Structure 1
């Protein structure tokens, strides 16, 4: 038995697992502290997050030791595509939470289809782009429109929930995997630079023009409030700017060393969603700059390792999977960090492996398990 376990873990990537498990431990502590001043509520959130983390560790270990060839199976990909589109359609008819309809309640827990789409799109795009690369069809006109219908359909359904953060993360996965498959650095750089420039210009245009005040976009009005809060948070400190202003206060209160675990002031009814979207603000207040930097270093060590595994892979398909998974973790981290410190508009995106949530933890750990599987195969082949 011991010999079998040793063989199982002989090629285990501890450089991925250690940052992951450390972030999970920090997450349990931070969620317990940030979930309010009510001891009963804190205990419930602590228990749930501990269960999510335990489930996540099991998922990582299972995915790390499975044969991942089944992920290429067209029936598997098609079945998941249909399943996710059905979930997105159901979510559109669900109850609205903070202006968006992105959750399906099962009674015990909530399912967020947009989260599940991140992993699926990374796998789906990797398969399609790798197939076309082998056939030397990259960059040519796509004859089979079915893959496009699936991808565009998912992105459209996520956008109209409306979930701008989820849409942008999923779009980033699609673009990065496609551009990585082109194997043309200059063309990829030009396309990314163009997209980045258009996004910056569009963001500045929103300072003077509200497109959500007209026609069918009126029900997205809450989304524009996030942009006004981003441009002038203190002007709307008692309304849409409340989240960002209180996040500033939390970061300022924390200083370098923090006020101590459990002593956050802003979590006491001032900072909305302190255990999910703004958990980094609570960490900054309680553990200070040092605690915040530790969390970010762990995240970037993990994300950097994922990209490194993708670069080292001799199999284009596996490389593209790593790029897709690394992209969604990186963009998600940037959106959350940028949102809590005012560098980017608030998009309601959680901090990977740290924020409270079951759907997010399941998707992230399944993704990490796949990358660890690829890493183990690399080490095995090298030996």
Structure 2
């Protein structure tokens, strides 16, 4: 039975993606045009650049949607992707110029990209590939099936220990230092472990461990002091953000500048906002208004009600993605979809938590709205993978139902 994929497209995922992408282009124009005009540049320049990446993203979605999923389950392809990612992370850390106190961007002519952005999706793919091949062992040995090599299937034995590879990748990102993306990747890894098929009690243990470790770490900083912790290698770059986390108004001109002006932006917006393009804080008051703190500007221009509507659409998209994974019968498909949804959810949590002061600011972008073609491309590829998974699951279900009906007819004819 041949069923064309175009008839199986999940519009409850595609349409929110398209709406958010278009709205993101409008937000990027709103947050960048004033500054570009001040410098005598084309006010549409940033939006056009983002639009080019969006067109590339749409082409990528079309290509990946038509791709056979067996390609993603090929160990050689997974190995090659991880190997290339490790090389790119090493190049980004040790052979690139420092930008805002960190390495991480590889510049090739007029183009630049951030390997850590792509790792967020790669780590989901890598772990879904590994864990899906150990379902029989997990069903018998639970969590131990993930940690003891003698219970791994033969096809997974040739691949390096997923724990060591994950730690290596996370360490390379943290060493840049890019603690925001490192935190998202760590949380994504924990989500993947949780949905691998192990007992639910492990989720409680992992969640409790993260909560306790975070509380102890923040308590340690509070007792020792940010100035002392700033002397620790790597941590010195983010020390000011922890200082702002405790009280941004202690030093509004330096460490607390961003978070304080983020509060001002949200306060200016009130319930209904100042209107599209009317933000005050984006005019040089709030640093990173086009990237890390873009949602503060969204709240200033659209108000609390508008921001809540946008967040509702984003969460609807994430939940639809996770639902694809929940319904999937194939373990690899299920883990990929849930992992992608979890990765997006963690990015939203870290960004909103940072701009609102719930957690220390980490420099993480907001999906779709922050300026940056790399982030949009990664999100688009992730959406394409989920659409492909959903279509394949639907096709398998239709074929299975047709076979059952055919078997029923044969029995009745007898």
Give the aligned partner of residue 340 of structure 2. Answer: 325
CA 1:182–1:212 in 2, change beyond 3 Å: closer, same or farther? Answer: farther
The reply on whether 1:33 has 2:30 as its aligned counterpart is: yes
Deviation, 1:213, is 4.2
Instruction: Describe the SS at the equivalent of 1:217.
Output: coil
2:376 pairs with one of 345, 361, 376:
361
Could you tell which deviates more after superposition, 137-146 or 167-176?
A: 137-146
Matched positions, count? 379
Instruction: Describe the SS at the equivalent of 1:29.
Output: helix
Give the 5 Å matches for 1:14-93. Answer: 14-37=11-34, 38-39=36-37, 40=41, 42-93=43-94
Instruction: Describe the SS at the equivalent of 1:208.
Output: helix
Larger Rg belongs to: 2
Deviation, 1:224, is 1.1
Native 8 Å contact 1:36 1:267 kept in 2 = no
Instruction: Describe the SS at the equivalent of 1:101.
Output: coil
CA shift digits 1:121-142 (9 cap, x unpaired): 1011011111122344652243
Instruction: Describe the SS at the equivalent of 2:196.
Output: helix
**Hey, what's the Cα distance between the residues in 2 that align with 1:138 and 1:367?**
29
Native 8 Å contact 2:229 2:239 kept in 1 = no
CA 1:112–1:11 in 2, change beyond 3 Å: closer, same or farther? Answer: same
Give the aligned partner of residue 121 of structure 1. Answer: 123
**Hey, what's the Cα distance between the residues in 2 that align with 1:296 and 1:41?**
30
**Hey, what's the Cα distance between the residues in 1 that align with 2:341 and 2:137?**
26
Unaligned runs of 5+ residues in structure 2 are 150-156, 399-414
CA 1:246–1:374 in 2, change beyond 3 Å: closer, same or farther? Answer: same
Give the aligned partner of residue 142 of structure 1. Answer: 148
**Hey, what's the Cα distance between the residues in 2 that align with 1:331 and 1:279?**
17
Deviation, 1:36, is 4.5
Give the aligned partner of residue 184 of structure 1. Answer: 199
CA 1:227–1:32 in 2, change beyond 3 Å: closer, same or farther? Answer: same
CA 1:298–1:176 in 2, change beyond 3 Å: closer, same or farther? Answer: same
CA 1:256–1:214 in 2, change beyond 3 Å: closer, same or farther? Answer: closer
CA shift digits 1:66-85 (9 cap, x unpaired): 11111111111111111001
Structure with the larger RCO, 1 or 2 (CA within 8 Å, 6+ apart): 1
CA shift digits 1:91-139 (9 cap, x unpaired): 1121112211111111222211111111111011011111122344652
1:268 pairs with one of 283, 293, 297:
283
Deviation, 1:210, is 4.6
1:294 pairs with one of 309, 313, 318:
309
1:254 pairs with one of 269, 281, 284:
269
**Hey, what's the Cα distance between the residues in 1 that align with 2:52 and 2:277?**
21
Deviation, 1:246, is 0.7
Could you tell which deviates more after superposition, 158-167 or 207-216?
A: 207-216
Instruction: Describe the SS at the equivalent of 1:366.
Output: helix
**Hey, what's the Cα distance between the residues in 2 that align with 1:169 and 1:212?**
26
CA 1:169–1:214 in 2, change beyond 3 Å: closer, same or farther? Answer: closer
CA 1:92–1:165 in 2, change beyond 3 Å: closer, same or farther? Answer: same
**Runs of at least 4 residues of structure 1 off by over 4 A?**
210-216
**Hey, what's the Cα distance between the residues in 1 that align with 2:202 and 2:233?**
37
Unaligned runs of 5+ residues in structure 1 are none
